[in-house]
Amino acid sequence: MNDHKNEKDSWGVILLGHGSQRGTSKAECSCAWLQKDTPAWCQDCPSTPVGLRKAADRLQDMLGIDQSQMVLSCLEFIEPFPPEAAKILDERGFHRVVVAPFLLGNGKHATLEMNEIIEEVQEQLPSVQLHLAAGLGADPNIAELVVQRVRELEESETATKTETGTKGILVVKAGTKTEYDDCI
C-alpha cells in the first residue's frame, strides 16, 4: 500500500464481511435459547466480531498498513456499515479507498450489491474515490486452499477413515433470500 499514512497518495481499506446476527453475544447463541444452563454440547460459540477483527488484523499486518488505514465493515448486523466505514476513512484523511469483499461466495452480496454500495457511498461522499477489489468467491486460490486442507487431512494420522461409501468434500456457502430472489 503506502508507507506514509495520511499523505496525499495513501489508501484506506474497508474489509467488508457479511456480518451475522448470531455470535456477537452469548445470548444470541442457540445454546442459550432454550435453557438457563449452558448445555454440554455447547462449544462456547465463537464471536463473529472477534473472528472478523482477527482476520482484519492479519490482513492489515500483511499489507503493512497502519490501523488507521483499515476499517472492518459488514453488510448486515455489525456496524459500521460500508457508508459509515468510508466516512471514517475520509475523516482520517484517506480519500482513496479500496473496498475488499471478505465473502466466500460469489453471489449477489459479492456482485450486485457491491455496485449498489459503491454508488451509495459515492453519492454520500463524492470526495472519496472507491475502488472495488475482486471478490474471493471466483478466485481459484479458494479452490486450491480447499484442496490443500483436504490433502493435509488425508496425510494426517488423525484423519478419520471410512471403510465404505463415497469420499469427498462439499463446500457450501450460506444461502440468502433477498430482493434479488426474482433473478432465479
Q: What is the pLDDT of residues 118-140, one digit of tens each?
A: 999 999 999 999 999 988 877 88
- Domain assignment present for residue 119? The answer is yes
Total count of domains within the chain: 1
Classify residue 76: in a domain, yes or no. yes
Residue 170 lies in a domain: no
In a domain, 126, yes or no: yes
User: For residue 128, what are the domain limits?
Assistant: 11-132
Does residue 161 belong to any structural domain of this protein?
no
* Domain CATH number, residue 52: 3.40.50.1400
Please report which confidence band the pLDDT of residue 180 belongs to, taking 50, 70 and 90 as the band edges.
Answer: very low
- Characterize 92-123 residue by residue with b for buried, 16 or more Cβ atoms within 10 angstroms of its Cβ, and e for exposed: bebbebbbbbbbbbbbbbbbebbeebbeebee
For the entire predicted model, the pTM comes to 0.71
